[in-house]
Amino acid sequence: MSLPLVSEPRAVPVPRTSLGEGPHWDGHTQTLLWVDIPAGQVHRLDPVDGSHGVVDVGMPVGAAVPRVEGGLALAVRDGFAVLAEEGLEVVAPVTAGERPGNRMNDGACDRAGRFFAGTMSEDDTPGAGALYRLGPGRRCERVVADVSISNGVAWSPDERLMYYVDTLTGRVDVFDYDPADGGMANRRVFAVIPRGMPDGLTVDATGHVWVALWGGGAVLRLRPDGSLDLTVEIPATNVTSCAFGGPDLDVLYVTSAWDGRTGGELFRCTTFFTGLPANPYRENSTPDGRAPERW
C-alpha cells in the first residue's frame, strides 16, 4: 500500500483566529509567521518547542514578512509598514490615495526583497483595489490597477513567472516576470478554479502551484500547465492560504477563517513535496548582511 503524498491535516495547538492569513516560513529563525487580519495581530510559532507569540499591530494587517534590516515588514490597513524596536512605522501609505474603506491584504517578497501586496475594499467593491510593489529605499509603485480582492502572490522556481490571485475573478493569473527589475508583462489566465474562490497560494520546488480555496474547503496543487494534480481537503470551509515550512520545507501549513461553524485554525500537513524558501523584505539596495531579529 502506497503512502499518501500529503498527510491528513491536523490543527496546530495555537489560538484560533477570526481571519487567519499569510503563512510565511522564516528560515533564519525556523519559525512560522501568520496574521489575524481584523484583530491586527501577527503570530509566530516555533514548531520545535511549540512556543507561540503574538504582536498587536494596532490596525488590520494582511501580511507579515521578515525584514533584512531587522524586525518585520507588514501590509497593514494604511499601507506598507515596518515594525522594529521603535514601533510601527507606515512607510508607504498607499490606501490614502484609494477609496475610503480600503485596506491592504495578502503579500510576498521576491528573491531581491521587493515586497508585493495589494488592496481591497472592506465591502468587496469590484475594481476598488490595486497591487503595489515596495522596493529598496521604500519606493512604492502601483503595478496592477482595477483589482477587486488582491490576494496570493508567488513566483516560479526560476522567477521568470509571477502568479497572482484577484479572488473575485475566480482564477489564478500569471505574468512574465523580470527578476532583475521586478517588471511584469503579458498577464494571462493560468487556471480557472472549479470550486470555491482562489485565495492565497505558494509554489513548490518543481514549479507546481498550491492555491487555497475560500469557500471550497481545500488546497489544490496545480501542474505548471495549470491542470489539477491533487486536492488536499481541509476541515474548514474558508481556507485562506498555504506555505511550506520546516527544516526541509516539506511541511504544508494552511490558514483558515472562522465562518461561525468551522475555521480559524492553523493546519499542518506532512508531504512528500518540497517548497521554495520564503524571502524577506530588503529595504536597502545594498544589504548590510544582518539577519532579521526574532521577537
User: In one letter, which amino acid is 288?
Assistant: D
User: In one letter, which amino acid is 207?
Assistant: G
User: In one letter, which amino acid is 31?
Assistant: T
Query: Which residues make Cβ contacts (< 8 Å) with residue 201, sequence separation at least 6?
Result: 151, 152, 153, 154, 163, 165, 172, 209, 210, 211, 212, 241, 242
Query: 200, 152 in Cβ contact below 8 A?
Result: yes
226: left (phi over 0), alpha (psi -120 to 50) or beta: left
Query: 125, 295 in Cβ contact below 8 A?
Result: no
Helix and strand totals (H; E) in the chain: 0, 24
Query: 175, 161 in Cβ contact below 8 A?
Result: yes
Which of 78, 106, 166, 199 is an active site residue?
Answer: 199
Cα-based angle 273, 274, 279 (whole degrees, multiple of 5): 150
Q: Of 197, 199, 120, nearest to 154 (Cα)?
A: 199
139: left (phi over 0), alpha (psi -120 to 50) or beta: beta
Per the annotation, the verdict on 146 as an active-site residue is no
Distance of CA 245 to the CA centre of its chain: 13
The residues that are catalytic are 199
